[in-house]
Amino acid sequence: MDALSMLFDGFVAVLQPENLLYLVGGVLIGVILGAIPGLSATMAIALVIPLTYYLTPTQSLIMLLAAYNAGTFGGSMSAILIGTPGTVSAAATVSDGYALAKQGKARKAIKGALFSSCFGCLFSSIILVIIAQPIAKVALKFGPAEYAVLMLFSLTIIASAAGKSLTKGLLGGCIGLFFGCVGMDASYTIPRLTFGSLKLSSGIDLVVMLIGALALSEVLKQVETVALGQTSAQLPEPSCKDDTRFLKSDFKLCLPHWLRSSALGCAIGALPGLGPSLACYIGYDVGHKTAKHPEQFGKGALEGVAAAEAANNAVCGANMIPLLSLGVPGDTGAALLISAFLVQGLTPGPLIFSESPETVYNVYAGLILCNIVLLGITLLIYRAFTKICSMETTIIFPCVLAFCVIGVYALNSNLDDVWIMLFFGVIGYILSKFKFPMATLLIGFILSPLFEKNFRRALILNSGDWSIFFSSPLCWLFWAATILSVFFIVRGKRKDKNLQDGL
């Protein structure tokens, strides 16, 4: 009851006009920066932190969390409207979200992404309030071996995302794994595949690769259509009112995916180092496997948008579990939040619950309320975004190209990042022309360094003995999940082949 009264006091504190103003400001900044390709939710936090030095702890932290949550959702706006994810965490939203937009259902897709994002973050916020410490204790049991087997399980997503051609999907995943190996060897500090470039010794930035492979390749495809004389409006108008509404039937369709993906996002967010970029693909993959009509995924399934968006936004609240309970950041955004705590004279970790409980519960209340503010603000401004993106391709895509270049350069103020983006733009264009699923390339790239790092750490800790990968119940659990996943993928591919042979 004491916790409930403190949470109630937190809501009262956050709803004070001055505090609420900073919450609204954080949401606006997050949505706008998240929707611009290259300017991620992490960058939103980085830009907001200097503005919070002279604010109270409550004002500072709720503004930053609002920018983080809204920025994670904001990436889905551009993913749906122009096929270019504003943030890495919205990469899985592109296939179904953009397909819906090209059917005249852009507003329905945005509403689906918005409701899914709010549900996911609200779900994880409630989990954060109720069981932050028990989940953090489970997360502590994850060592390098458990992480390595978890990454192996995650690699099975490549087969699910392969589409019709498993060969092309696996090849795309291997290309992603290859590019993930570029940089300095973590164990022996030997440069790999850098070709003497100092810039490449630190590896390829995920955001740079994503913007190149997805955004720039889409620009190149649009240039090709213009060259062929196909300069029609980017997005068609809705054919009926239902194309702009999120109906009761849509709610029933998406609710199971919201629950599953939110739970997955919570689990991933509670594990340091994974983050929303992995959560969106795992949520999408599980949604695809459990859908009543999986064949519609990638062709404009609202379920696909719901599964991806609920998962990546659930990470936002769950990331606070290891941060508050253990002082360990869940991802880059959470790492920046630690600096905001320290600026305010607070040290994240177990002692914060006794040293400054009021601030903790104010953070809880702010995280919950920012979903309501995000919902209201987005419903007010999303029509403006759809109108802008209904312009002709000759207008909208040069602007997209400019944002890509500016956003990528702004990451590290390094022109080399722009050249790397251009390289991956060409790679993405070539792969798309040969019908390679781009999702497999991104999954392989994201998982490559995580798998290698933990795999090698586990072997070093156990003097090269492979038995460490079977040494704990969590390892066995992930091995079982991997085997089951492979079994269902193979069975699904055989069914598809039999259906094609029957036709």
Q: Band of the pLDDT at 1, cuts 50, 70, 90?
A: very low
Q: Band of the pLDDT at 147, cuts 50, 70, 90?
A: confident
For residue 300, the model assigns a pLDDT of 82
Instruction: Identify how many contiguous H helices and E strands the chain contains and give both numbers.
Output: 22, 2
Q: Which helix (H) or strand (E) holds 51?
A: none
For residue 115, the model assigns a pLDDT of 92
Q: Which three-class secondary structure string do you get for 251-313? A: HHHHHHHHHHHHHHHHHHHCCCCCCHHHHHHHHHHHHHHHCCCHHHCCCCCHHHHHHHHHHHH
pLDDT of 327 > 70? The answer is no
For residue 449, the model assigns a pLDDT of 81
The highest-confidence range among 39-53, 114-128, 204-218, by mean pLDDT, is 114-128
Residue 4 phi, psi (nearest 5) = -65, -40
- In the predicted model, what is the mean pLDDT of residues 398-423? 80
Least confident of 51-60, 322-331, 447-456, 484-493: 322-331
By DSSP bridging, strand 183-184 and strand 191-192 are: antiparallel
Q: Band of the pLDDT at 446, cuts 50, 70, 90?
A: confident
- In the predicted model, what is the mean pLDDT of residues 329-342? 70
Q: What is the chain's percent helix, strand, coil content, to nearest 5? A: 80, 0, 20
Least confident of 63-77, 122-136, 153-167, 462-476: 153-167
Which residues, 6+ apart, have CB-to-CB distance to 465 below 8 Å?
459
For residue 169, the model assigns a pLDDT of 77
For residue 247, the model assigns a pLDDT of 82
- In the predicted model, what is the mean pLDDT of residues 152-176? 75
Least confident of 15-19, 29-33, 392-396, 400-404: 392-396
For residue 503, the model assigns a pLDDT of 45
- In the predicted model, what is the mean pLDDT of residues 328-344? 70
Q: Band of the pLDDT at 42, cuts 50, 70, 90?
A: low
Instruction: Write down the residue that tokens 């999907």 correspond to.
Output: 169
Pairwise CA distance, residues 28 & 66, whole Å? 9
- Mean pLDDT (the chain, rounded): 79
For residue 37, the model assigns a pLDDT of 67
pLDDT of 461 > 80? The answer is yes
pLDDT of 314 > 80? The answer is yes
pTM for the structure as a whole: 0.71
Whether residue 377 contacts residue 24, with contact meaning beta carbons closer than 8 Å, is answered with yes
Looking at the DSSP bridge assignments, the partners of residue 392 are 233
For residue 33, the model assigns a pLDDT of 78
Pairwise CA distance, residues 139 & 270, whole Å? 6
For residue 267, the model assigns a pLDDT of 81
The model's pLDDT over 168-200, given as tens digits with 9 standing for 90+, comes to 878 888 888 888 888 887 677 788 888 777 778
Q: Band of the pLDDT at 301, cuts 50, 70, 90?
A: confident
Strand segments, DSSP code E, in 97-199 are 183-184, 191-192
Q: What percent of the chain has pLDDT over 90?
A: 1
Least confident of 57-66, 255-264, 337-346, 357-366: 337-346
pLDDT of 231 > 60? The answer is no
